[in-house]
Amino acid sequence: MKKKGSSTKRKLPTNVRERDGKYSYRYYIPTTKFIEGEEKKSSKEMESPRFDTIQEAVDFGILIEAKKIQKKLKYTDDLTVRTWSQTWLKAYIMEREPAGNTIKNREYGLRVLLKQFGGFSIVDVSVSQYQDFLYKLKEDGKSRSTITTIHTAASLMFEHAKRKGLIEFDPTADAVIPKEKKTARKIGEKNKSSPNFSRRTN
């Protein structure tokens, strides 16, 4: 016979929680917040889906802890393309010390990119969405050199995000810049020079 006041509640494994006959695994992961372009480190409590058995919750926890050891577990809080672009541009200028004209090129490229993807979470921009974006630029009448300028800024920004471990893949990596249809020049007509911002530097 059990003593009065003794607990009948089953002792659960570490970090496993029970609610309404279902089991979940709670854990903390590193988080990254970006406030006015500055990176802030913190942690965030997370909870797994609810499982029918304790063992399923435990197995989920084993996978989570393995990812922690491999440093593959990260959470980026409210990181939109617009927010990351500010952080990236600061880092880009610090690392490369580009010429003033190059900075203007990058800023121009970002402005165009942000009109399309500014509100997207950086992890949500897909390869197909980005490629369609480049096609749309051509449809809107932008020259290949201008599209290249925009793509260069986007590529550098997403590449940096991947290097920092914020995204698993770079949606710009295998993008194709649409070609321009060549037109025959009239006799005596000089070749037109490309706009200044189309020249790729640094």
Residues linked to residue 45 through DSSP beta bridges, in sequence order: 28
User: What pLDDT shows up at residue 191?
Assistant: 52
Residue type, 198: S
- pLDDT averaged per 10 residues, the chain (length 202): 52 90 84 64 77 86 74 62 90 92 96 93 91 95 96 96 87 93 60 48 52
Phi, psi values for residue 14, rounded to 5° = -55, 130
Segment 39-54, tens digit of pLDDT:
667 777 878 878 888 9
pTM here is 0.59
Q: Within 13 A of 31's CA, how many CA atoms are on the CB side?
A: 13
Instruction: Record the tokens describing residue 1, joined without a space.
Output: 């016979």
Exposure b/e, 20-51, CB count within 10 A at least 16 = b: eeebbbebeeebbbbeeeeeeeeeeeeebebb
User: What pLDDT shows up at residue 7?
Assistant: 45
Please report the domains of the chain, with CATH numbers, ordered by start residue.
16-76 (no CATH), 81-180 (1.10.150.130)
Angle CA(116)–CA(118)–CA(121) in degrees, nearest 5? Answer: 115
User: What pLDDT shows up at residue 198?
Assistant: 45
Q: Burial level of 104, CB count in 10 A (0-12/13-18/19+)?
A: middle
User: What pLDDT shows up at residue 9?
Assistant: 63
